[in-house]
Amino acid sequence: MGLKLFNTLARSVQEFAPLDPAQKKVGMYCCGPTVYDFAHIGNWRTFVFADLVRRYLEFKNFQVTHVMNITDIEDKIIKRVRELKIPLRDFTGKYETAFLEDLKTLNCLSPHQTPRATEHIPEIISLIEKLIARGIAYKASDGSVYFSIEKYRGCGCNYGQLLKLNFDEMRTGERVKSDEYAKESIADFALWKSRVPDDGEIFWPSPFGEGRPGWHIECSAMSMKILGASFDLHLGGEDLIFPHHEDEIAQSEGAGLQPAGQPFVKYWIHGAHLLVEGKKMSKSLGNFFTLRDLLAKGFTGREVRYLLLTAHYRETFNFTLEGLAGAKTALARIDECVGKLREIAGNTAAEPEPGSWGWRLLDKFSLALSDDLNVSRAWAAIFEWVRDNNLFYHVLQDEQIRGGDTMRTAFAVKAAAEIAAWNKIDSVLGIGKKAEAEIPAEISALAEERIAAKKSKDFKRADAIRDELKLKGWTIEDTPKGARLKKL
Ligand SMILES: [Zn+2]
């Protein structure tokens, strides 16, 4: 079955078909972080969502090139660098490293390329030159270069492809900086901002004079350089639709580099907002969380990822600490089931078996995700699978103890096939295995002593050790394969 996604450009759910004639290669761009602070949980919703899209495309055997830019030059960055009096790269490097670390904590696959805006100034300049040559961009009296929406529309191009726009009211709500009064029209946006005293030493030479790029042009220049002038997927949060993505289309299509009849981007996919505890996140309300804040509260990246993946990407999601606690419980159910299956399977390897629960799970899972990434249906199928396997385990425990080697081998193969199906599912969800709690030497020594006590039939001592372990936060489970330590 094909994959269907909601394309903001078409305002409808569409069948996904990449531009590649072989229907194999997919170019995917997701607007990355502005590295001036730690990313918050609302930002992370978008990046986890992009990771899900990429992983699902790979699950469907597409060859994805995933690009995510790093915005390392921007108004807020300049302001902070000026305040802190440190070199630009020292400042942005710190937050870029933190961002990439957090990306790993959330088990997001590293994008194949993470281009920095400051390392693409020549590409940005060349794109602006093309727009000037085509009469769509102009240099204003303040030395900045602006994109003229009127000229762009005059060439028969459509500004407002993602959003129906009222041109009379456009951008009047945006803060107009004094150095932007030179624009011909309030709707025009800066491609190149001329150097002002507040910029300090942060500027680049260009044919239009010293200055720095505007934010929108960075994404057009870097995405087209790496993925080509026309590519398949562009992702981002819905707050970026206007003006950022609308401007990206205008700049990229305005430069006219696409093959005839092809758009800059075929599918625009946007993730919805995130509320925290029912409200818009804000520092004053105390509901503003970075990933690091949540880790400090004792939650794990895995729990945060799970919770973010329980909501459909087009629905506003209410992120709560209670929801995170629920994520812990849900993951524990999956872990317990997968753990037991692994124990039964031992070293046996198998492929998913037609007709098995795992086979059915794979079927339901891909039907659900192919339907515009319907995660709720996917999770329902997963918990049904957990329930079925748990029942199987209970029957099995008795049978295994009573049954002979042939039966044990048959069960091991069945369990291994279920695990193989789960591993395929997890290649998309990326919730992985629970990190095994390290067993301190003192605890394993006690467990050894208990085994010895049981062997010599000193049950009193064995029970005393069990109690002692419990006091130290560990429980010991006797399984058909021997005793197993578990953290309480
Ligand atoms: Zn962007």
Query: What is residue 111's three-state secondary structure?
Result: coil
Determine the distance separating the centroid of ligand 1 and the alpha carbon of 277, expressed in angstroms: 28
CB-based neighbours (< 5 A) of ligand 1, an ion: 31, 219
Give the other-Cβ count within 10 Å of 290's Cβ.
17
Grade residue 136 by pLDDT with cuts at 50, 70 and 90: very high
Distance CA 445, CA 59 (A): 44
Check residue 241 and give its pLDDT.
95
Rounded Cα distance between 152 and 142, Å, is: 21
The predicted structure's pLDDT at residue 169: 63
Q: Which of 152-161, 371-380, 418-427 has the lowest mean pLDDT?
A: 152-161
What is the SS3 assignment for 362?
A: helix
The pairing of strands 145-147 and 137-139 is antiparallel
Q: How many CB atoms lie within 10 A of CB 410?
A: 12
Q: How far is the CA of 69 from the centre of ligand 1 (A)?
A: 7
Which residues have CB under 8 Å from 469's CB, separation 6+? Answer: 443, 446, 447, 450, 475, 476, 485
Provide the mean pLDDT of the chain: 92
Q: Across residues 299-328, what is the average pLDDT?
A: 96
Mean pLDDT of 256-272: 96
CA of 424 to the centre of ligand 1 (A): 32
Residue 218 CA to ligand 1 center (angstroms) comes to 7
* Cα distance between residue 44 and residue 336, in whole Å: 27
pLDDT at residue 332 tops 80 = yes
Ligand 1: centre distance to CA 32 (Å):
7
Q: Ligand 1 centroid to 47 CA: how many Å?
A: 13
pLDDT of 279 over the 70 cut: yes
Q: How far is the CA of 31 from the centre of ligand 1 (A)?
A: 4
Contacts of 73 (CB under 8 A, 6+ apart): 88, 117, 118, 202, 212, 213, 218
Nearest to 44 by CA among 63, 52, 36: 52
Q: How far is the CA of 244 from the centre of ligand 1 (A)?
A: 6
Asked if pLDDT for residue 479 goes beyond 80, the answer is: no
- Separation of 111 CA from ligand 1 center, angstroms? 15
Ligand 1 centroid to residue 174 C-alpha, Å: 18
State how far the alpha carbon of 294 is from the alpha carbons of 57, 289, 299, 434, 438, in Å: 30, 7, 6, 18, 22
Listed in sequence order, the DSSP H helices in 63-208 are: 75-84, 88-105, 121-133, 149-154
- Ligand 1 center to residue 225 CA distance, Å? 14
Residue-wise DSSP of 247-283: HHHHHHHHTT-SPTT--SEEEEEEEPPEEETTB---G
Among 181-185, 191-195, 246-250, 278-282, the least confident range: 181-185
State the distance from the centre of ligand 1 to the C-alpha of 136, rounded, in angstroms: 20
Question: Does residue 318 carry a pLDDT above 60?
Answer: yes
| More reliable by pLDDT, 287 or 168 | 287
| Ligand 1 centroid to residue 293 C-alpha, Å | 26
Q: Can you tell me which residue has the tokens 């758009």?
A: 263
CA–centroid distance, 454 to ligand 1, in Å, is 65
Distance 108 CA to ligand 1 centre (A): 19
Torsion, CA 257, CA 261, CA 267, CA 270, rounded to 10: 70
The pair phi, psi for residue 155, each rounded to 5°, is -85, 5
End-to-end CA distance of the chain: 44
For residues 269-291, give the mean pLDDT: 93
Q: How confident is the model at residue 125 (pLDDT cuts 50, 70, 90)?
A: very high
The model's pLDDT over 97-107, given as tens digits with 9 standing for 90+, comes to: 999 999 999 99
Of 270, 266, 265, 242, whose CA–CA distance to 252 is shortest? 265
Q: Which residues is 137 bridged to in the sheet? A: 147
292 CA to centre of ligand 1 in angstroms: 24
C-alpha 220 – ligand 1 centre gap (Å): 8
Q: What is the arithmetic mean of pLDDT over 113-134?
A: 98
pLDDT for position 178: 40
- 74: phi then psi, degrees, rounded to nearest 5: -175, 160
Q: By the 8 A CB rule, do 74 and 202 touch?
A: no
CA 100 to ligand 1 centroid distance, Å: 18
Q: What is the whole-number distance in angstroms between the Cα of residue 242 and the centre of ligand 1?
A: 11
Q: Report how far ligand 1's centroid is from the alpha carbon of 91 (Å).
A: 21
CA of 237 to the centre of ligand 1 (A): 10
Predicted confidence (pLDDT) per residue in 12-59, tens digit: 999 999 999 999 999 999 999 999 999 999 999 999 999 999 999 999
pLDDT digits (tens, 9 = 90+) for 349-363: 999 989 999 999 999
Beta strands in 177-221 (DSSP E): 189-194, 211-213
pLDDT tens column, 394-435: 777 666 666 677 788 888 899 999 999 999 999 999 998 776
Tokens linked to 455: 């062997």
Q: How far is residue 78's CA from residue 155's CA, in Å, rounded to a whole number?
A: 35
Inform me whether the pLDDT recorded for 168 exceeds 70.
no
Least Cα distance to 44 among 260, 295, 252 occurs for 295
For ligand 1, the distance from its centroid to the CA atom of residue 28, given in whole angstroms, is 12
Provide the pLDDT for residue 179: 43
**How far away, in angstroms, is 222 Cα from ligand 1 center?**
9
Do residues 343 and 479 lie in contact, with contact meaning Cβ atoms separated by under 8 Å?
A: yes
43 Cα to the center of ligand 1, angstroms: 13
- Report how far ligand 1's centroid is from the alpha carbon of 30 (Å): 7
Q: Is the pLDDT of residue 81 over 70?
A: yes
Helix (H, G, I), strand (E, B) or coil at 137: strand
Cα(236) to centroid of ligand 1, in Å? 8
For residue 66, which of 31, 25, 29 has the smallest C-alpha distance?
Answer: 29
What's the CA-to-centroid distance between 262 and ligand 1, angstroms? Answer: 20
| Ligand 1 midpoint to CA 216 (Å) | 6
Q: Would residue 261 be called left, alpha or beta, if left means φ above 0 and alpha means ψ between -120 and 50 degrees? A: left
Share of the chain above pLDDT 90, in %: 77
Contact 29/227 with Cβ under 8 angstroms? yes
